[in-house]
Structure 1
Amino acid sequence: MKTSEEPAFVKTSAASSNEGQKKQRFSQKTYLKLITFISTFGGLLYGYDTGVVNGALPYMSREDQLNLSPFTQGLVTSSLLFGAAFGAIFGGRLSDRKGRRKTIISVAFIFLIATIGCSIAPNMEIMVLSRFILGLAVGATSVTVPAFLAEMAPAEKRGRLVTQNELMIVTGQLLAYIFNAVLANSFGDMGNIWRYMLVIATLPAVLLWLGMLIVPESPRWLASKGNIKGALQVLEKIRERMQARKELEEIENTIVNEGKVKKATFRDLKLPHVRRIILIGIGIAMIQQLTGVNSIMYYGTEILKDAGFSTEAALIGNIANGVISVAATFVGIALLDKVGRRPMLFIGMVGTSTSLLLIGIISMTMEGSSVLPYIILSLTVLFLAFQQGAVSPVTWLMQSEIYPLHLRGLAMGISIFCLFMMNFLVGLLFPVLFDAFGLATTFFIFVGLGLISLFFIKRYVPETKGRSLEEIEQTFAKSQKKYAQQG
């Protein structure tokens, strides 16, 4: 007699199989989260080392310490950024040759040594040199970590995973502001309190170095070096088996197609399609700095002091900037895989430019008012909500998305070099412009640059949402053929 009921052992076997698959998927997701968390300690160090100078500078500048002028303040601040520009170039090339993982491990050691050098610097010259070396590490991680995460992440989660590095950057800046405020308000009478502010960064440097020892290499980098078996092993640890094999097949096809093209060098800049991709990447990178964000992140204490706060109150006020940066980044991460990259970048630029315009107008019309410091603080918070919720996440994500695999390290190195050179100029010149022309005029300059950035976004920035890295690359390749036929 036939029955529709399955034997008990079949049901038990199916249930066990489903339970095993669920456990495996959970394990794969957990491992990917662990990889993301550990590698983004590079972003945390970037954030802390750039943010800590905001609070350390007033104490460092005292006559009994390093006795800094407005120009040497800018030099100390921007020397890290100058180093980061070159670190981006060399870090990108090194990660292509030696691997993403090995590069991050090496950079963690540089973070540690350079941080100690900054903390014990006896004069301005040693401080500038130490921060330049620290910048080499910052630049290398800025290129390597987003590329590493983009190559680890599945297409549908790439936006969220890659922008976690941006979240760690702003978290590092928030931690710097908190430690600055606590140390300054508790031990502000100590002339060398700035040394304690700086040395805290040694802890995440050690954690990054130790953590990367247990993290695997990028499967795409392994495959590009001929280690297909190793690439599959890594993919199967962070994907379902069928998805891993399908993704590996896409990677192999891309590598085969790229094998017909010689590996990227600076000579490739002569090729029209390579120039086009890199110029778009450079434009996106420079947009982030043309908002003037780092005038606030590096000199927020000086801006709030000029508005009317005391040094200690300004340091506490900076915590609000750090908190909104972290909160806005969470919002940005949630929106990236739902909203397109281009509209987010455009809206973010409108918001930042409007905020700076209001700061400039109000600082001119309400000079001397008792409420001015609080209005300026509120507007810097509004500015950072747009910057960290839209402009910065899209910038770092698209840097990791738009370049072909064989070109990624070189191209990201070039575009991030330009980002940090613009960052360097902002860091160096802002205190000089601020001292010579005041806050309003300086911010009006950034508003004008913001209008130029909006035109660039509307005209040139592509959409990359929901497409695999291989699909994006194929689109640029088709675009190349189209331009060639038209030529």
Structure 2
Amino acid sequence: MSAIQSQRDGVHTTPLPPLTDGPHRKRLGQVALIATFGGLLFGYDTGVINGALRPMTADLGLTPFTEGVVTSSLLFGAAAGAVGSGKLSDNWGRRKTILLLAVLFLTGALACVFAPNFEVMVLGRIILGLAVGGASTVVPVFLAELAPYEIRGSLAGRNELMIVIGQLAAFVVNAIIGNLWGEFGGVWRVMLAVAALPATALFFGMLRMPESPRWLISKGRVQEALAVLMTIRSPERAEAEMADVKHLTDEEKETMPTTWGALRNKWILRILLVGIGLGVAQQLTGINSIMYYGQSVLVEAGFDSNAALIANIAPGVIAVVGGIIALSMMQRVNRRTTLLIGFTLTTICHFLIGIASLALPVGNPMRPFVILFLVVAFVGSMQTFLNIAVWVMLSEIFPLYIRGFAIGISIFCLWIANAFLGLFFPTLVAAVGITGTFFLFGVLGILALVFIYTQVPETRGRTLEALEEDVTTGAIYVVHKNQTPAAP
């Protein structure tokens, strides 16, 4: 039983010692900053294609279909990287896996920069995808396992904030390079080369970072885990958390199967399906279609190419602003409430974009600006209420003994949905226009709202160990689905 639950089945337990300020809080912040360079790379490498694709198409002679292949090859690679890295991090460790991902980020970036043709470009994008998918799986778990439960949402959510900062950086770099040197050949290679800098920083930074203490405990390396906790907690808090995690881990070693065998427990299977549903629902908002093809959407709306590059910065800025607001809400607003608000707002934006595209025909001077405003509103709603909440929930809802495996499966499905959208979005827009595309996203948003309301439990304000016990027994669906946790 978790030490932080004050009442369960009539049994009273002692809460953990409170958080205190000191050098350990500064060290925790340093570890989180270095790890989230993985999120920064995730954002840059997925966002840079937005502005690099049009000049790349001219240089490499891409067709509309091969444009989709170049874009989606990273995403299919990310699906494989997510599921592979999740299992690898369970066996090999979170820290070592992130170091490997840094090497893949650098290798993939260099392959894309020097790609002489379509085939090598696709290979480089697949390598980048393996790194992006791995980072999307391992970094949130690493942060969640390091964080005290009181600030787990805001700490784990920093990775999503760094993702949107990376995407904004890509949009700004694209706009500057595209407008200053767009007439020169190979300008897209410079856009892609910038990613080598944070990849190098991630590698050398992680060499000085500790391993996840919860992973160390799961491997029986108790003294190492306590030594790590002592650097990021007060001594009293470190020892109390250590006892709590070790007790649960010892129980699970005797009774719990790992990976696929764990799915025989119907509650574990159910929470895995919830994780998959969260990831797929997030992608079916179409957010990454805007991030990958935003310039093309704005050109179709009525902007010229250079103006679209500049206008495309606006969704990137609002994404960062929304991410900052979302971090501040993580410890004050229930996760379910945040998700329901987010899907409601994004669905409304989808229908409004479709209506505006229908009501304002091509050539109407108001069309590009109205659609840009609605796209910015959509991205702001998405980043403020959905993206950080989804990634935080995926990092915290799974039990420790299958955490890497389960989040890997969930994010694999997320990336597959993302990849198919990336592959077919240009074809979809060409076939039914902005109007039909965003009406379709709106219908999918209504289905997502039904899923969130009926299936997703509440997780805020509780330790990973308390959540793990309730998930394993199914109590989380009965007791905590609509309960507002007490303020920590």
Superposition TM-score tier, normalisation by shorter sequence? over 0.9
Residue identity opposite 2:35 in structure 1: S
The correspondence for 2:189, drawn from 184, 195, 201, is 195
Looking at structure 1, the residues matched to 476 and 188 of structure 2 have their Cα atoms a distance apart, in angstroms, of 56
The correspondence for 1:34, drawn from 30, 33, 36, is 30
Looking at structure 1, the residues matched to 77 and 219 of structure 2 have their Cα atoms a distance apart, in angstroms, of 29
Helix, strand or coil at the partner of 2:333: coil
Looking at structure 1, the residues matched to 474 and 297 of structure 2 have their Cα atoms a distance apart, in angstroms, of 46
The correspondence for 1:408, drawn from 403, 412, 426, is 403
Is structure 2 residue 438 aligned with structure 1 residue 443?
yes
Looking at structure 2, the residues matched to 274 and 410 of structure 1 have their Cα atoms a distance apart, in angstroms, of 12
Map of 1:158 onto structure 2: 152
Looking at structure 2, the residues matched to 274 and 478 of structure 1 have their Cα atoms a distance apart, in angstroms, of 9
The correspondence for 2:260, drawn from 255, 262, 266, is 266
Q: CA deviation at 1:267?
A: 3.4
Map of 2:269 onto structure 1: 275
CA distance 1:338–1:82, change in 2 (3 Å) = same
Map of 2:216 onto structure 1: 222
Helix, strand or coil at the partner of 1:214: coil
Of Structure 1 and Structure 2, which has the larger fraction of its residues in helix?
A: 1
Larger radius of gyration: 1
Q: How many residues align?
A: 458
Residue identity opposite 1:403 in structure 2: F
Map of 1:12 onto structure 2: none
Map of 1:376 onto structure 2: 371
Is structure 2 residue 278 aligned with structure 1 residue 289?
no
Residue identity opposite 1:450 in structure 2: G
Q: CA deviation at 1:245?
A: 0.7
Map of 2:50 onto structure 1: 54
Is structure 2 residue 117 aligned with structure 1 residue 112?
no
Q: Is the 8 A contact 1:54 1:300 kept in 2?
A: yes
Is structure 2 residue 417 aligned with structure 1 residue 432?
no
Looking at structure 2, the residues matched to 191 and 477 of structure 1 have their Cα atoms a distance apart, in angstroms, of 57
Residue identity (%): 49
CA offsets per residue over residues 415-443 of structure 1, 9 Å max, x none?
A: 00000000001100100111122111011
Root-mean-square deviation over aligned CA pairs: 1.3
Looking at structure 2, the residues matched to 316 and 282 of structure 1 have their Cα atoms a distance apart, in angstroms, of 35
Is structure 2 residue 316 aligned with structure 1 residue 322?
yes
Is structure 2 residue 86 aligned with structure 1 residue 96?
no
Looking at structure 1, the residues matched to 209 and 296 of structure 2 have their Cα atoms a distance apart, in angstroms, of 41
CA distance 1:481–1:77, change in 2 (3 Å) = closer
Map of 1:336 onto structure 2: 330
Residue identity opposite 1:474 in structure 2: E
The correspondence for 1:471, drawn from 460, 463, 466, is 466
Looking at structure 2, the residues matched to 458 and 52 of structure 1 have their Cα atoms a distance apart, in angstroms, of 35
Residue identity opposite 2:406 in structure 1: A
Structure 1 stretch displaced more, 172-181 or 249-258 = 249-258
CA offsets per residue over residues 150-190 of structure 1, 9 Å max, x none?
A: 00000000000000000000000000000000001100101
Residue identity opposite 1:390 in structure 2: F
Looking at structure 1, the residues matched to 431 and 123 of structure 2 have their Cα atoms a distance apart, in angstroms, of 27
Q: Is the 8 A contact 2:467 2:476 kept in 1?
A: no
The correspondence for 2:417, drawn from 406, 415, 422, is 422
Helix, strand or coil at the partner of 2:255: coil
CA offsets per residue over residues 448-478 of structure 1, 9 Å max, x none?
A: 1101000000000000000000000111233
CA offsets per residue over residues 28-79 of structure 1, 9 Å max, x none?
A: 11110100000000000000000000000111111xx111222111111111
Map of 1:352 onto structure 2: 346
Residue identity opposite 2:391 in structure 1: W
Looking at structure 2, the residues matched to 163 and 103 of structure 1 have their Cα atoms a distance apart, in angstroms, of 20
Helix, strand or coil at the partner of 2:60: coil
Looking at structure 1, the residues matched to 64 and 439 of structure 2 have their Cα atoms a distance apart, in angstroms, of 20
Looking at structure 2, the residues matched to 90 and 197 of structure 1 have their Cα atoms a distance apart, in angstroms, of 28
Map of 1:126 onto structure 2: 120
Q: Is the 8 A contact 1:76 1:128 kept in 2?
A: yes
Residue identity opposite 2:78 in structure 1: A
Map of 2:481 onto structure 1: none
Structure 1 stretch displaced more, 263-272 or 163-172 = 263-272
| TM-score, normalised by the number of residues in structure 2 | 0.92
CA offsets per residue over residues 112-147 of structure 1, 9 Å max, x none?
A: 011000111111111111101110011111110000
Q: CA deviation at 1:287?
A: 1.1
Structure 1 stretch displaced more, 209-218 or 250-259 = 250-259
CA distance 1:343–1:481, change in 2 (3 Å) = closer
Is structure 2 residue 143 aligned with structure 1 residue 143?
no
| Runs of 5+ unmatched residues, structure 2 | 1-19, 479-488
Q: Is the 8 A contact 2:76 2:416 kept in 1?
A: yes
CA distance 1:267–1:324, change in 2 (3 Å) = same
Residue identity opposite 1:29 in structure 2: R
Looking at structure 1, the residues matched to 119 and 396 of structure 2 have their Cα atoms a distance apart, in angstroms, of 39
Map of 1:7 onto structure 2: none
Q: CA deviation at 1:261?
A: 2.6
Map of 2:355 onto structure 1: 361
Is structure 2 residue 38 aligned with structure 1 residue 45?
no
CA distance 1:374–1:25, change in 2 (3 Å) = same
Is structure 2 residue 204 aligned with structure 1 residue 210?
yes
Q: Is the 8 A contact 1:273 1:480 kept in 2?
A: no
CA offsets per residue over residues 272-317 of structure 1, 9 Å max, x none?
A: 1221110011011111101110111100000001111111110111
CA distance 1:298–1:481, change in 2 (3 Å) = closer
CA offsets per residue over residues 77-119 of structure 1, 9 Å max, x none?
A: 1110100001011100110111000000011001001100011
Q: CA deviation at 1:262?
A: 4.3
Looking at structure 1, the residues matched to 237 and 22 of structure 2 have their Cα atoms a distance apart, in angstroms, of 15
Residue identity opposite 1:365 in structure 2: A
| TM-score, normalised by the number of residues in structure 1 | 0.92
Residue identity opposite 2:465 in structure 1: E
Residue identity opposite 1:40 in structure 2: T
Q: CA deviation at 1:216?
A: 0.4
Looking at structure 1, the residues matched to 368 and 313 of structure 2 have their Cα atoms a distance apart, in angstroms, of 15
Looking at structure 2, the residues matched to 172 and 26 of structure 1 have their Cα atoms a distance apart, in angstroms, of 30
Map of 1:302 onto structure 2: 296
Residue identity opposite 2:67 in structure 1: Q
Map of 2:250 onto structure 1: 256
Residue identity opposite 2:426 in structure 1: P
